[in-house]
Amino acid sequence: MDFKFTEEEEVFKRVVKEFCEKHIAPVWVDLDEKGYFPAELYRKMADQGFFGIAIKPEYGGAGGTMVMSAIAVEEIAYADPQVAIPVYTLLQNGWPLALQIFGSEEAKNEILPRVVKNEAFFGIATTENQGGSDLAGTRVTAEKKGSTWFLNGEKMYISGVGELRELPWGGGFWILTRTGGMDRGHRALTAYAFLAKKEGKNVGGFEPTVMDEIGRRGLTTGGFKLTDVEIEDRYRIGDVDRGFYLSMEGFNIARILVAAACIGAGRWALDQAVEWFKQRKLFGKHISSFQGVSFRFAELYAQLEAAKYFVYKAAWMADKIYLEKDTSFKPSDLNVPVAMAKLTAPETCVRALEETMKWYGAYGYSKECPLYRAWLGCFSYVIGAEGAQNIMRYIIARDVIGKEYVE
């Protein structure tokens, strides 16, 4: 077992870190406070090759890996622990890679080069008002008439809705729809590469809304209504009624990067704690000399290191499965490593931020101290973005104990 990054990965990590220190760390607080779209920053990130990292050269990418994608997201999250820029980055890496794996050649050639250049956005739209984890309950419908599909219904709690307005070409989402009766549950769902905005114009029948969230204000979340939205069959992803299964593989890819973002923000929190320990004294002693503080710090550090192992093991395995086509692995082998990463990284990150705020004392409860911004942003992944935490527990139990014993 080799726990070292390759020389190429180490060089890439240094490039990302230096970029983040120069361009992201100085602006993240202002971005969170004002909630604007950092267009020039994203242009620079695209120029550096931070979007579509694992996209093949034939689709405009650099042909990198999931490990490199995780490295980039982790470093960006260390520089922006409110995780707006990291989440935008992970969305521009995870679901485009899923499209590269499962999409049609026409859709890939049209969308992926524009994502790499950040001319277009490509995220995920599965959540509906009745619940994000219940994909089997999807109600947005897709009905085929001739060679065209017509989409109707509503999606909610979708990241990137506002960003579509800002990008010159547009983009859209990996969308999951119902192509059969509700009685068929997850066996009647089909996925599409839905372009909500194309060549600078919203498609007909697409009505977006943007929510006012309590954190992660540098990235928009909202929803949209679809009324007889037309989509050509070439944008269908995989076979009809197989969308649930392909989406689950897509979530495995995306969750690795979500967990990587939480690792970066958690590292930042613990580094803030160490710097505070060096300054803050109580009864004439550094507060870290009290075991109630130092032992808790040690526990969090160990838990974060464990979560980091889960993240990079899952990223390594994803590379084996999807990029190297290693037949000794199958896609379902990713389920448990990914679920462990998504289970442990967000919760550990949030605990690290909470404890650091406590160690800061009253100052930690002020707006002058930026810790709360990171806490609010990262808490979105404990609430359940990209998969609820109890769903991760269920996946681990199901795959390790056996489905017949947990259902």
Is 107 inside any structural domain? Answer: yes
Q: Which of 120, 137, 167 is the last residue of a domain?
A: 120
Residue 1 inside a domain? The answer is no
Shared domain for 319 and 371, answered yes or no, is yes
3-state secondary structure of 55: coil
Co-location of 353 and 262 in the same domain: yes
Are residues 191 and 286 both part of a single domain?
no
Same domain? 307 vs 348: yes
Locate 340 and state its tokens: 């462990």
Phi (first) and psi of residue 196, to 5 degrees: -75, -30
What confidence tens digit (pLDDT) does each residue in 313-371 have? Answer: 999 999 999 999 999 999 999 999 999 999 999 999 999 999 999 999 999 999 999 99
Rounded CA gap, 299 and 169, in Å? 47
* Distance (Å, whole) CA 257 – CA 342: 9
Residues spanned by the domain of 152: 121-237
- Look over the chain and give the mean of its residue pLDDT values, rounded to a whole number: 96
For residues 127-132, average pLDDT: 85
Q: Which of these three, 120, 151, 181, is where a domain ends?
A: 120
At which of 205, 237, 269 does a domain end? 237
Same domain membership, residue 258 and residue 356 = yes
Cα–Cα separations (whole angstroms), residue 116 to 73, 304, 389, 395: 15, 31, 31, 32
* 8 A C-beta contact, residue 341 and residue 350: no
Q: What percent of the chain has pLDDT over 90?
A: 94
Closest C-alpha to 260, from 320, 297, 294, 308: 308
Tens digit of pLDDT for each residue in 222-279? 999 999 999 999 999 999 999 999 999 999 999 999 999 999 999 999 999 999 999 9
246 is a domain residue: no
Residue 282 predicted with pLDDT over 90? no
